[in-house]
Amino acid sequence: MIFKFEPIYQERVWGGQLLKTKLKRNIPSDVRIGESWDLVDRDDINSRLLHSFKNSQSLRSLIHDNPTLMMGPHWSPDQKFPILVKWLDCSERLSLQVHPPKQIAQKLSGEPKTENWYVAHAADNAGLFAGFRKGTTKENFKEAIANGTAENCCHRINSEEGVSILIESGRIHAIDSGNLILEIQQNSDTTYRVFDWDRNGLNGIPRELHIENSMQSIDFNDFEPSVLKTAINLNPQILANCNEFRIRKFNLLNGQEFQLKEKNVDCSIIHLISGKINIGKESIEIGEHGLSPFSEGCIIKATHESEILITDRFNKPT
């Protein structure tokens, strides 16, 4: 058994039409959709089951009414789903930003946020910013922000289809234009924007910056991290393995199937990058996800040659 949910679209100044052209999403052609929140359990925004299910129950109510079935015997009914899954259409450059580490987040009344980027599509000359160039100091960076040259301090990596990078809390980062990215993250929505390339927001006014909070949150010893290039001959390949989640990539041949039932896992999320798969009576198309709850394993069968990611959330005591 799996659950599928309706996407929730967010307009962004840096968004475009990649969700329509690459993932075949039905979105307006005259709106800059930058984010599709495909699995989310927040107070102000919550995923609802696809209409193909018996009802459009929310993810929050599913967990509240069936905590053991969904997340295991240790899970509290009021405990939120721990993972947030998004597609990002980065048709233009995102702001330079940071998410606060746990201790700093508590001090600033925010939430820590570790996330992983998987690049599903990259245009020519697309790139990713992560960490600093070697030799950059806090003083250098503050000066660069003031004179509009912050980009010169940041480590830029060429982006290409199939690369992955873990962006831990405290890492300065931005996504350059021309990327379609699957973001799998800790359930948080705290972002401190340190530089926005001197542009205006959707309302024609410059977006708010959070320089003081950013300076408290940034790891100034984080220099020139590298991306992970995924490989066909590693099956599965671990893309990320941190306190918040584990992400694995599988390459499946047409007709290949395997059973997903992990020990000590609250739940697993299946993400289809390319191809097509069936899980029981449900089919998963490109860009879709299936939530496999604690109480159920599932058999994944590829009906085309397919690439999938699987995110596992390991048991955490309440």
Tell whether the model's pLDDT for residue 121 goes beyond 80: yes
The tokens for 235 are 């099956």
Judge if 183 and 80 occupy the same domain: yes
Fill in the amino acid letter for 27: I
| Within-domain flag for 1 | no
Number of domains present in the structure of the chain: 2
| Within-domain flag for 270 | yes
Active site residue 248: no
How does pLDDT run across 174-216, given as a tens digit for each residue? 999 999 999 999 999 999 999 999 898 899 999 999 999 999 9
Judge if 127 and 14 occupy the same domain: yes
> Residue 206, exposed/middle/buried by CB under 10 A (0-12, 13-18, 19+)?
exposed
* Domain limits for position 267: 237-314
What's the rounded mean pLDDT across residues 164-176? 98
CATH code of the domain containing 310: 2.60.120.10
Judge if 81 and 206 occupy the same domain: yes
| Within-domain flag for 77 | yes
| Within-domain flag for 109 | yes
The tokens for 317 are 């005591």
Judge if 128 and 261 occupy the same domain: no
| Within-domain flag for 252 | yes
Judge if 310 and 188 occupy the same domain: no
Confidence of residue 316 (pLDDT cuts 50, 70, 90): low
Give the model's pLDDT for residue 318.
41
How does pLDDT run across 235-294, given as a tens digit for each residue? 899 999 999 999 999 999 999 999 998 778 899 999 999 999 999 889 999 999 999 999
pTM of the prediction? 0.96
Judge if 216 and 259 occupy the same domain: no
Judge if 49 and 193 occupy the same domain: yes
Give the model's pLDDT for residue 315.
75
Tell whether the model's pLDDT for residue 65 goes beyond 70: yes
| Within-domain flag for 3 | no
Give the model's pLDDT for residue 262.
77
**Domain endpoint, select from 199, 229, 259:** 229
Judge if 27 and 59 occupy the same domain: yes
**Domain endpoint, select from 176, 203, 229:** 229
Judge if 166 and 297 occupy the same domain: no
- CB atoms near residue 283 (< 10 Å): 15
Q: Whose CA is closest to 130, among 83, 196, 175?
A: 175
Judge if 81 and 186 occupy the same domain: yes
H and E: helices and strands count for the chain:
6, 21
| Within-domain flag for 214 | yes
Judge if 113 and 243 occupy the same domain: no
Catalytic residue among 193, 246, 248, 313: 193
Give the model's pLDDT for residue 285.
96
| Within-domain flag for 256 | yes
**Domain endpoint, select from 173, 196, 229:** 229
How does pLDDT run across 25-63, given as a tens digit for each residue? 999 999 999 999 999 999 999 999 987 666 779 999 999
Task: At 239, give phi and psi (nearest 5°).
Answer: -90, -35
Judge if 151 and 242 occupy the same domain: no
Give the model's pLDDT for residue 231.
83
Q: Report the C-alpha gap between 215 and 212 in whole angstroms.
A: 5
